[in-house]
Structure 1
Amino acid sequence: MKKTLMRPVGLPESASHPVATPLMPSVVYASDTPDALDAQYEGRVAGYTYAREGHPNADVLARRIDALEGAEGGIVTGSGMAAVTAALMGLLRAGDHVLGGDQLYGRSLRLMRDDLPRLGIATSLADPTDVDAVAAALRPETRMVLIEVVSNPTLRIADLDGIAALCAERGILLAVDNTFTTPAAIRPMERGADIVIQSVTKLLAGHSDVTLGWVAARSPEDRKRMYDFAVTTGMTASPFDCWLAERGLMTFGLRFAQAQATAERLAARLADMPGVRRVLYPTREDHPDRARAQAVLRGQGGNMLSFEIEGGRAAANAFAAGAAGVAFAPTLGDVGTTLSHPASSSHRGLTSEARAAIGVTEGFFRVSVGLEDADALAATFEAGLAAARGA
């Protein structure tokens, strides 16, 4: 019997084209000759070889996020933390120093506290709302500053313009994690950032069904270094996750606008509820950084708010259980509202004294506002507060 080679059947020719991006899960891409493969690797022709090095669904998603962020050559990674790691470990080397904001995402803080130092990269933290504190913390060997525009979970606003000017003056890379704020509120490269990071898992994809990250750099050389590190260490993004995220991205602008409007209304309602000690939302008159929020975020507040209730852990337990219908989960950016308790999740690794220093008590909650009706959400939180008072 004659043996035949297993070759993929070509797609049928068509005078039309698909409206939705096809899902392309192939891991391996075949080339015609060694010369053709050389041409791809040397950049003379475009093409794919092996999915760990890139695939069509990742590129389609990356270009869409590039357009939102005003960036070029963004890289999609398997998670938001993979994007943070690609920036830090792809661009830093032993002997360098990186300065981080003192309220970074918990895993970013752990990476800086535990992992970078054992690889010979020095780290320290400073208050990003105070450019003088950032300047005082810089060292001759500082290579990068990593901040978030809005801190998690206390929603303090970084002095982005001051830090960007400082970094430019000193020749230091400024990396901004824009997950909390999103490009709908601010595009950090337009304000002087050299590197921008997104956890696509959150509001960009928006449905709690993908785990992805994205990172871009202003410099082509830095982009290449981050890409090489991501490929070498296998930070590959799943084609299916990329396909889902692109689908979610189509409604990002609508979801952001609706959630932001609801968050502002909910913040006002919460401030008048018995048992609420304080509410943190960037557009409120009593926010400690309101003037900076107006300038940096162009008057927008985003979909995140935080508040503190009276009482300790017993009251917190009662509130979370009593706010039935709102998912109690340490995440953000879903179409549904989620409630998180930093003392038992993102900031559980800190001592109670360290949490108190930044204002995170047992009664402190963070809310990622979704697409529900604002009045219905307010009623749910009122029920939770009644349960907390009973505790």
Structure 2
Amino acid sequence: MSRNDKGSLVRPDPLPESASRPVATPLSPSVVYASDTPDALDDQYEGRVQGYTYSREGHPNANVVARRLDAMEGASGGVVTGSGMGAVTAALMGLLSAGDHVIGGSQLYGRSLRLMTEDLPRLGIATTLAESGDIAAMTAAVRPETRMILVEVVSNPALNVADIQGLAALCRERDILLAVDNTFTTPRAFRPLEHGADIVLHSITKLLAGHSDVMLGYAVARNPEQSDRMRVFSVTTGLTPSPFDCWLAERGMLSFDLRFDRAQASAALLADHVATLPGVKRVLYPTRADHPDHARAMALLNGQGCNMVSFELDGGRAAANAFTRAADGLSFAPTLGDVGTTLSHPASSSHRALSAKDRASRGLTEGFFRVSVGLEDPDMLKRIFTQAIAEATGT
């Protein structure tokens, strides 16, 4: 066939040659990639050359995001998944087997708790929950068949701070994997692998991507063989990330450091302000002296508090409804990490599957809110919270 005849093909050579290259990463939505010969395809599958075959097994935009997060976490070989829960699932189900036992922090994100308490036991993986800051409780929960401990550095949504150093020592002593969800803290505040963790997890959806238009997760292990097992599980079970979401996430990550620093500074100011308002029962922020884990937070996070603030209103559900109505301009939405400040009510969203008794044991009352502080002017946020809390509590 002559070169001119190729114009009649449905798919001729797709891209013109260029002596230059794009500055921004191109979006690569192709599901399938063509190889020259069966031998060339063997070379790819057997690792002699790098290439793409089918996007469920990997694609350029996912690899760009994985490399960027690997660099941020001081890791290599990370896996990008279609959601943060996809990353948690890849770690738990990619590395554990029926008959194994896993210990989870009792303050984990609601869906992580549900996976631990409902789905893993159904599949023959036993689970126990214990307070991530209480090494005695964690040690007491260990069994001969314990293979993993899963915690969040700063828990969602009560902002408890895990004893990572104590947990790392326990896991080394008992030959247990320590998996750390670093979503709230991000690599800007904490790098778990440098503190003894074996596995790091992220919901990229949140502060890393930062614009509420991406759904992605990330998992990486210190041991390359374990990272590969998570990758294979993700490929097999279809935890595939969207190329478009990866492309958006990379764009968001370019401004991540600036967004994190601005939001963190505003969060500290807002926490101190809300603590002075009538009608507020308590405020939780890691760098405040009245935080239950203040000393551990200061040592572990080097004085950084991150962008999340939690507080509790007087007045229960009625006050909660009045507060969200009065907080003009702030989104009441079950998310975090957006450029705008968002309000979340765990009792009606992330932890609604727990019984009222279980929520109460975690301090998640009907008046409890989690605030993801965004990039607004902090003085404006103070005014909004002052007015909304006054209207909600009648003060």
Q: Which amino acid aligns with 2:200?
A: V
> How far has the Cα of 1:345 moved from its partner?
1.2
Q: Return the alpha-carbon distance in structure 2 between the equivalents of residues 114 and 27 of structure 1.
A: 34
Supply the AA of the counterpart residue of 1:296.
L
1:180 aligned onto 2:184: yes
Q: Unaligned stretches of 5+ in structure 2?
A: none
The match for 1:271 among 256, 275, 281 is 275
Matching residue of 2:135: 131
Q: CA deviation at 1:4?
A: 5.7
Q: How many residues align?
A: 391
Q: Residue 76 in 1 paired to residue 110 in 2? A: no
**Residues 260 and 306, structure 2, Cα contact 8 Å, conserved in 1:** yes
Worse-matched range after superposition: 295-304 or 3-12: 3-12
Matched residue SS, 2:23: coil
Aligned to 2:227: 223
Amino acid of the structure 2 residue aligned with 1:160: I
Q: Distance in 2 between matches of 1:2 and 1:171?
A: 60
Q: Secondary structure at the match of 2:15?
A: coil
- Match status 1:6 vs 2:10: yes
2:260 is aligned with 1:260 = no
Aligned partner of 2:247 in structure 1 is 243
Q: Is the 8 A contact 2:6 2:12 kept in 1?
A: no
Task: Identify which of 85, 89, 103 aligns with 2:93.
Answer: 89
Structure 1 gaps of 5+ residues are: none
Structure 1 residue runs of 4 or more that deviate by more than 4 Å after TM superposition: 1-5
2:75 is matched by which residue type in structure 1?
Answer: A
Residue pair 2:65, 2:249 contacting (<8 A) in 1 also: yes
Within the candidate set 320, 325, 328, 2:329 is matched to 325
1:40 maps to 2:37:
no
C-alpha deviation, 1:310, in angstroms = 1.0
Normalising by structure 2, report the TM-score.
0.97
Cα deviation for residue 221 of structure 1 reads: 1.0
Relative to structure 1, the CA distance from residue 101 to residue 5 in structure 2 (aligned partners, 3 Å threshold; closer, same or farther) is same
Output the CA distance in 1 between the equivalents of 2:134 and 2:213.
Answer: 37
Contact 2:313-2:393 within 8 A present in 1 as well = no
Matching of residue 384 in structure 1 with residue 377 in structure 2: no
Partners of 1:347 and 1:154 in 2: how far apart?
A: 11
In 2: Cα distance, 1:309 partner to 1:7 partner = 61
Letter in 1 for 2:27: L
Separation (CA, whole Å) in 1 of partners of 2:115 and 2:364: 21
Q: Is 1:337 matched with 2:341?
A: yes
Aligned pair partner of 1:105 in 103, 109, 122 = 109
C-alpha displacement at 1:10, in angstroms? 4.3
Distance in 2 between residues matched to 1:10 and 1:45, nearest whole Å: 22
The answer to whether the aligner puts 1:214 opposite 2:218 as a matched pair is: yes
Post-superposition Cα deviations, 1:162-214, rounded to whole Å, max 9, x if no partner, equal 00111011110010011111111100001011110000000000000010001
Q: Secondary structure at the match of 1:52?
A: helix
Deviates more, 1:127-136 or 1:1-10: 1-10
Report the identity percentage: 71
> Which position in structure 2 is the counterpart of 1:17?
21
1:225 and 1:117 mapped to 2: Cα distance? Answer: 21
Question: Does 2:66 correspond to 1:62?
Answer: yes
Match of 1:61, as an amino acid? V
Cα deviation, 1:204-231, whole Å, max 9, x if unaligned, reads 0000001000100111111111111100
Check if 1:189 corresponds to 2:197: no
Contact 2:132 2:163 in 1 (8 A): yes
Corresponding position: 1:296 with 2:300: yes
Match of 1:115 in 2: 119
Alpha-carbon RMSD: 1.4
Counterpart secondary structure, 1:196: strand
In the other structure, the counterpart of 1:367 is: 371
Letter in structure 2 aligned against 1:135: T
**Distance in 1 (alpha carbons) for counterparts of 2:246 and 2:124:** 34
